[in-house]
């Protein structure tokens, strides 16, 4: 905190043009350093691990590639990991219980091919849930994650209506013993956060790490050197309902 | 009491003033009376505010450890008493929208530090009167809903032993150790 304060004070003293020049230099230097480090570091871990006091950056856009050919039918490791990791407790009422990620089975009627895939918030670039939210609770972070600010969510559920992926759930019942990192309560809408508490600390979402088939690849779409971007360059992938031009961050391979 | 006295003294002073002022500025006796009453009320309220509102409240619940006189909170106790909600709210927006997860003003850290244990050495939830937040909020008749979503119990991996816990170390001892470190550090420099 102290560090931040002194930093901003310093910036105020510097003339505007000088400041801009400095920032430009920092950016260039940062990019150069990133390029130099890229081959050795970035493949190993989630890129751009930020420190706790840093704000998220627009230069990152988190995304995911799901290989449906690897996704086993009947396997719900990702769903279980999500429920466990985020403390999503159900009441044995599937109609109203909260679910952030669900397994969907689709069948091509002409060929009879059956595909199983996990479906969660697609973290759109142009999220309709954000467009319709009357309070601004539904928002997109700079790094591309679409979240609900439950402090200002009034539980109107417009976003649930707007989402073409049926990705959001409403919390119908009182929640107790939540996970400390995933606060959730009755009367608000919620959805997959890409495990934002983990992302902020440079870790991957639990579903991606839990997938035994290695079917979920998580990474930075904006970073050309990330494992995700490289895989996307090589394989053909599709966005669900690409016709709506929402540009989801989650893409599917083998559909 | 003062207002009663005023009423008794009213007729004499009232006549005197009105005879002088009324001729020049046409101030009616009624308005003069109103002004006198208002000013009396004003001074009265200041006097009572001095004694009741600006003095520290009595019989406030005492914070257990990690916020004692010897080991302060993240800000001076007086500041925290008045402004903790603003710190938390600011931090909440920073975390939610910018992903800044420093712990100094986070609600999580409040809970981890100010945890209280019941007689069975279990951390109490906000429903219990012993809970640090609830104890004071009940006293101040504040009804906040942090804990409808946030867990009011500490994270087991982060929690420090508190009074009532077998592994508890008195904060005063910790402070003395810290001070010793600081003084030795200062001497070496």
Note the residue count of chain B: 189
- On whether residue B16 sits in a domain, the answer given is yes
Q: Are B146 and B138 in contact (CB under 8 A)?
A: no
Q: Are residues B92 and B159 in the same domain?
A: yes
Whether residue A34 is contained in a domain is answered as: yes
In a domain, A231, yes or no: yes
Q: Region A95-112: what's the mean pLDDT? A: 94
- Return the DSSP state at B60: P
Do residue B149 and residue A179 have CB atoms under 8 angstroms apart?
A: no
Residue A47 lies in a domain: no
Length of chain A: 255
Model confidence pLDDT, tens digit, residues B153-173? 887 765 555 555 555 544 444
Q: Is residue A190 part of a domain?
A: yes
The residue of chain B nearest to residue A179, with distances taken between CA atoms, is B151
The answer to whether residues A26 and A147 belong to one domain is no
* Confidence category of residue B181, pLDDT binned at 50, 70, 90: low
Burial class (CB in 10 A: 0-12, 13-18, 19+), A141: buried
- Write down the pLDDT at residue B71: 55
DSSP codes joined into one string, B65-91: SSSSSSS--SS-HHHHHHHHHHHHHHH
Distance CA A80, CA A88 (A): 9
Is there a single domain that holds both residue B111 and residue B167?
yes
Q: What is the number of domains present in chain B?
A: 2
**Residue span of the structural domain in which A29 resides:** 2-41
Residue of A nearest to B127 (CA): A176
Q: Is residue A233 part of a domain?
A: yes
Residue in chain B nearest A201 by alpha carbon: B101
Say if residue A14 is in the same domain as residue A104.
Answer: no
Minimum mean pLDDT range among A23-32, A92-101, A171-180, B136-145: A23-32
B74 to chain A, any CB pair closer than 8 A? The answer is no
Asked if B155's CB is within 8 angstroms of A178's CB, the reply is: no
In a domain, A53, yes or no: no
Chain A with chain B: Cβ pairs closer than 8 A:
58
List pLDDT tens digits, range A117-141.
999 999 999 999 999 999 999 999 9
Is residue B158 in some structural domain? yes
A135 and A29, same domain (yes or no): no
Mean pLDDT of A235-243: 96
List pLDDT tens digits, range B14-57.
444 444 444 455 667 776 677 666 666 665 555 444 445 555 55
SS3 assignment for chain A: CHHHHHHHHHHHHCCHHHHHHHHHHHHHHHHHHHHHHHHHHCCCCCCCCCCCCCCCCCCCCEEEEEECCCCCCCCCHHHHHHHHHHCCCCCCCCCCCCCCEEEEEEECCCCCCEEEEEEECCCCCCCHHHHHCCCCCEEECCCCCEEECCCCCCCCCHHHHHCCCCCCEECCCCCCCCECCECCCCCCEECCCCCHHHHCCCCCCHHHHHCCCCCEEEEECCCCCCHHHHHHHHCCEECCCHHHCCCCCEEEECC
Task: Assess if residue B72 is contained within a domain.
Answer: no
Same domain? B109 vs B166: yes
Q: Residue A152's domain is classified under what CATH number?
A: 3.30.70.20
Let me know if residue B161 belongs to a domain. yes
In a shared domain, residues A104 and A29? no
A145, A189: one domain: yes
A101-110, A183-192, B60-69 — which is least confidently predicted? Answer: B60-69
- B33 and B84 inside one domain: no
Same domain for B122 and B44: no
Is B185 within a domain? no
- The per-residue pLDDT for B3 is 45
Rank A106-110, B119-123, B129-133 by mean pLDDT and report only the highest.
A106-110
Let me know whether A10 and A132 are in one domain. Answer: no
What pLDDT, on a 0 to 100 scale, did the predictor assign at position B173? 40
Into how many domains does chain A fold? 2
Are residue B14 and residue B99 in the same domain, yes or no? no
Does residue A55 lie in a domain region?
A: no
Tokens of A148: 């609900």
Residue range of the domain that includes B109? 77-174
Q: What is the average per-residue pLDDT within B81-105?
A: 92
Q: Which of A52, A142, A185 sits opposite B101 (nearest CB)?
A: A52
In a domain, B181, yes or no: no
CB nearest A56 (choices: B98, B102, B111): B98
B84 and B46 part of one domain: no
pLDDT in tens, A2-59: 444 344 444 444 445 555 555 555 555 545 454 454 444 444 445 456 788 889 999 9
Q: Which helix (H) or strand (E) holds B54?
A: none
DSSP states of B108-164 as a string?
A: HHHHHHS--B-TTS-B--TTSTTSHHHHHHHHTT----GGGTS-SSPPTTTPPP-TT
Residue A50 resides in a domain: no
């Amino acid at each position: 905190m102290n560090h931040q304060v002194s930093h901003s004070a310093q910036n105020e003293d510097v003339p505007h043009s000088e400041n801009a020049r400095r920032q430009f230099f920092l950016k260039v230097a940062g990019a150069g350093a990133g390029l130099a480090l890229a081959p050795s570091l970035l493949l190993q871990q989630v890129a751009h691990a930020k420190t706790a006091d840093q704000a998220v950056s627009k230069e990152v856009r988190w995304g995911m590639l799901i290989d449906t050919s690897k996704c086993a039918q009947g396997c719900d490791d990702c769903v279980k990991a999500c429920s466990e990791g985020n403390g999503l407790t159900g009441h044995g009422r599937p109609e109203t219980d909260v679910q952030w990620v669900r397994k969907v089975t689709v069948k091509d009627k002409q060929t009879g091919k059956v595909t199983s895939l996990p479906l969660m918030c697609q973290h759109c670039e142009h999220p309709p849930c954000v467009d319709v939210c009357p309070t601004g609770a539904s928002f997109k972070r700079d790094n591309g994650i679409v979240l609900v600010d439950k402090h200002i969510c009034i539980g109107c559920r417009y976003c649930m209506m707007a989402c073409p992926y049926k990705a959001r759930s409403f919390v119908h019942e009182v929640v107790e013993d939540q996970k400390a990192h995933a606060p959730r309560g009755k009367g608000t809408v919620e959805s997959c956060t890409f495990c934002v508490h983990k992302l902020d600390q440079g870790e991957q979402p639990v579903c991606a790490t839990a997938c035994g088939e290695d079917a979920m690849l998580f990474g930075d779409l904006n970073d050309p050197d990330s494992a995700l971007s490289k895989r996307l360059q090589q394989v053909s992938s599709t966005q669900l309902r690409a016709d709506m031009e929402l540009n989801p961050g989650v893409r599917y391979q083998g559909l | 009491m003062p207002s009663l006295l005023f009423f008794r003294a009213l007729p004499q002073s009232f006549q005197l003033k009105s005879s002088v002022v009324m001729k020049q500025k046409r101030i009616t006796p009624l308005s003069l009376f109103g002004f006198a009453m208002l000013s009396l009320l004003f001074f009265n309220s200041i006097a009572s505010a001095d004694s009741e509102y600006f003095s520290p409240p009595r019989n406030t619940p005492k914070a257990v450890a990690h916020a004692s006189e010897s080991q302060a909170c993240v800000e001076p106790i007086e500041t925290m008493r008045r402004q903790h909600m603003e710190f938390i709210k600011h931090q909440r927006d920073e975390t939610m929208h910018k992903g800044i997860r420093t712990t100094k003003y986070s609600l999580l850290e409040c809970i981890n530090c100010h945890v209280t244990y019941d007689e069975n050495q279990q951390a109490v939830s906000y429903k219990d009167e012993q809970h640090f937040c609830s104890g004071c909020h009940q006293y101040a008749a504040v009804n906040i809903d942090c804990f409808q979503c946030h867990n009011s119990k500490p994270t087991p991996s982060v929690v420090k032993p508190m009074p009532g816990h077998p592994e508890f170390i008195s904060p005063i001892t910790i402070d003395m150790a810290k001070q010793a470190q600081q003084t030795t550090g200062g001497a070496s420099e």
